[in-house]
Every structure is written in C-alpha cells, then in structure tokens.
C-alpha cells in the first residue's frame, strides 16, 4: 500500500490542477472499447482494460502514429466513432475524487488531461462537475500534450496564474510528474503509480497514498490557514 511521502517538505499551494483519467475518474472501459474497435479494424490483438491503463498515458496524436503507422488517421476515426457513442456510459468517479474536489474549493482549480478536450468537457458536464474547474484543458487544446508543459501552461493562463512551486499538479503517472517538472510546478502523485512503473519512476515532489488522504490534507491545511488569518 502506498504511503504519503515528502509531506514534511512542501510549498503551500496557491492553485491546484488535476489530471483526469485514473486520478478523478475511471473511464477505462470506454477507452478500451474504442481502442479495441480500432484494433479490430486493423486485425491487431485486443487490449484488456488493465493493458489500456498501462499503455494509454500519452495523447492520441502522439501514440496512434506509433501503434497504427501511416494509416493512424483511419484508426483515429474509428476510435472517435466508438468513444462518441459509448464513453459517457462508462465514466465513474474514482474513490475519493469528489472528496478531493470539495476539499479543493478554497483554491483556484483546473483539470489538464491527455484525453481529447471534447470528451473531457463532456464527461465533466455529465458528472455535474463543471463548477469545480476554472480551467479545462484536454488533448489537442494546446500546441502539444503531456508530457510537454504546454497544456499545464495553458491552464495557468486561463486561471490568470504563472508557473510556481505553489502550483500543484495532481496526477497518477510518471507522465504527469514529468509534465509538472517541465512546467516549473510541483508534481503531486496520488496513489502508487503501480500501473506506470511505481513511485521511484514517477519521482514526485509529493505523494499521497490515495484520494482520501489528499482530501484530508487539503481540509486540514485550509483549517490551519483560517486559524492563522
């Protein structure tokens, strides 16, 4: 089981950015169905949900040319057709995700994902979570996708903020932590990144064992801040 790490040495957050898939929501069944529709069309082996969790870390525009070669645009179209039809039926909040969002209320908050921006915004609206986020950036919205810092910097611009150690990016993979470092902000790992090589590979600035521990930390931090004001 993961344990909190480095929580004795941290910069008080001024702004919180969240990853989406596997941080706030479990939508892997929908992603897997769309991926397998493309795989079937290309006579390639199907993926399990667990394999999708392990492999789907970078965005479509970065991963599909590698997987499908020169005909990746056809695979993209098949993927999108299935996602459009099915993805909202599969999206579920991760355990503790709503606690995290409610605990984040005292801070400006955004979400930055490698999920296509149109699906990201649709899923946020479907869950009734739009009010939690002052910035929403998905794959294709910025000039590049994670691990490039561009989408994180776009979210900060939308929130009227600059990169700083007091900006926390909360995610579940090494890709998230790499993007945070590239953007000049603090990378916070939620969970143990077991599906992405573990904590050592992720090398986060901070780590929380799970979403509930993160929510408790944020609530306690806000309470202490109010008492000191």
Average pLDDT, the chain: 93
**What is the mean predicted confidence (pLDDT) over 180-198?**
91
Q: Where do runs of H (alpha helix) occur along 56-165? A: 60-68, 72-86, 97-103, 117-127, 150-158
pLDDT at residue number 55: 85
pLDDT at residue number 196: 73
What is the pairing mode between strands 167-171 and 92-93? unpaired
- Helix/strand/coil percentages in the chain, nearest 5: 50, 15, 35
Q: Which domains does the chain have, with CATH numbers?
A: 15-26+93-228 (3.40.50.1000), 28-89 (1.10.150)
Q: pLDDT tens digits, residue range 20-29?
A: 999 999 998 9
Tokens of 189: 């790992």
In the chain, the percentage of residues whose pLDDT exceeds 90 is 81
């Amino acid at each position: 089981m993961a344990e909190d790490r480095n929580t004795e040495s941290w910069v008080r957050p001024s702004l919180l950015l969240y990853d989406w898939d596997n941080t706030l929501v479990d939508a892997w069944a929908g992603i897997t169905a769309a991926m397998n529709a493309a795989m079937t069309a290309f006579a390639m082996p199907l993926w399990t949900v667990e394999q999708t969790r392990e492999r789907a870390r970078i965005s479509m525009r970065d991963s599909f040319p590698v997987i499908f070669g020169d005909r990746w645009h056809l695979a993209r179209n098949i993927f999108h057709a299935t996602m459009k039809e099915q993805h909202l039926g599969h999206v579920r909040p991760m355990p503790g995700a709503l606690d995290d969002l409610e605990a984040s209320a005292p801070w400006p908050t955004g979400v930055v994902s490698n999920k296509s921006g149109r699906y990201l915004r649709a899923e946020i609206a479907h869950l009734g979570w739009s009010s939690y986020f002052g910035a929403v950036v998905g794959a294709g919205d910025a000039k590049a996708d994670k691990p490039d810092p561009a989408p994180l910097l776009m979210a900060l611009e939308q929130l009227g903020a600059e990169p700083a150690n007091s900006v926390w990016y909360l995610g579940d993979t090494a890709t998230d932590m790499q993007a945070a470092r590239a953007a000049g902000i603090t990378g916070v790992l939620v969970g143990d990144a077991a599906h992405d090589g573990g904590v050592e590979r992720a090398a986060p600035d901070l780590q929380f064992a799970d979403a509930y521990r993160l929510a408790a930390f944020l609530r306690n931090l806000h309470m202490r801040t109010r008492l000191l004001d």
